[in-house]
């Protein structure tokens, strides 16, 4: 079982770092530290710091938007599968406010993607290849985080947003059923893709999406409902 430690507070919100998060960062960046190349090692350090900040800022986006609508975040966790903003109380009943809260995180990644792309270009022009490499990797990582989080599956931001939007037209239970079924299909698609690419990380993501979608469907009596 991985332990976590509080690494500080931002806007009064405790930030916890899961040791599994550190392990994932090491696995992701280890090629930069095994070539005995100072420039690559420097790029690796920049990437580690940038990834931590990107995920943290994503969760702070949720937290600040939630605070705007009276939904305070009790704490933020940086875990091996990303970040989690834990709300201290229920989210607003308004679907539009919930959608704004869910979309705030990916919006942060959009800004970071564009910002890192611009900085990478500036570093390349300034003849700083190691920095251009690191910033380019961070730009790509934020693009991935934005796209992945917008997939219409639980527990991702895209799934939560679609759930809130559909609830305006078909009610909360049927909205959850629709998103739950879509989430199961996406999980299966990711699992099949991971078999072709032999990507264990994708297998883990598929498992998480499958379990979250299954639990959501179970909470509303299955995809057809009770009775």
Among all residues, which ones are annotated catalytic?
A: 59
Q: Alpha-carbon distance 109 to 105, whole Å? A: 7
Q: Give the position of tokens 């993501």.
A: 205
Structural contact between residues 91 and 101, judged by C-beta atoms closer than 8 angstroms: yes
Q: How far is CA 71 from CA 8, 9, 63, 67, 220, in A?
A: 21, 18, 8, 5, 24
CA 85 to chain centre: 10
The pairing of strands 73-79 and 13-18 is parallel
Q: Give the position of tokens 């009943």.
A: 93
User: What kind and span of H or E run contains 18?
Assistant: strand 13-18
Q: Alpha-carbon distance 12 to 65, whole Å? A: 15
Q: Alpha-carbon distance 69 to 74, whole Å? A: 15
């Amino acid at each position: 079982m991985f332990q976590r430690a509080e690494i500080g507070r931002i806007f009064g919100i405790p930030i916890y770092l899961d040791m599994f998060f550190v392990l994932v960062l090491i696995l992701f960046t280890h090629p930069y530290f095994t070539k005995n190349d100072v420039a690559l090692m420097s790029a690796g350090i920049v990437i580690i710091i940038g990834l931590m900040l990107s995920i943290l800022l994503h969760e702070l986006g949720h937290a600040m938007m939630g605070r705007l609508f009276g939904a305070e975040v009790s704490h933020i966790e940086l875990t091996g599968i990303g970040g989690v903003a834990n709300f201290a109380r229920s989210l607003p009943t308004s679907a539009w406010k919930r959608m704004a809260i869910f979309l705030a995180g990916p919006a942060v990644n959009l800004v970071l993607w564009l910002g890192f792309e611009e900085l990478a270009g500036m570093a390349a022009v300034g003849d700083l290849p190691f920095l251009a490499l690191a910033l380019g990797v961070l730009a790509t990582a934020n693009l991935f985080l934005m796209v992945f989080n917008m997939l219409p599956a639980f527990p991702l931001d895209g799934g939560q947003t679609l759930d809130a939007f559909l609830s305006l037209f078909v009610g909360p239970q049927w909205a959850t059923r629709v998103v739950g079924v879509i989430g199961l299909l996406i999980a299966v698609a990711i699992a099949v893709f991971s078999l072709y690419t032999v990507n264990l990380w994708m297998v883990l993501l598929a498992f998480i999406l499958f379990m979250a979608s299954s639990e959501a469907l179970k909470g509303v009596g299955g995809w057809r409902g009770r009775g």
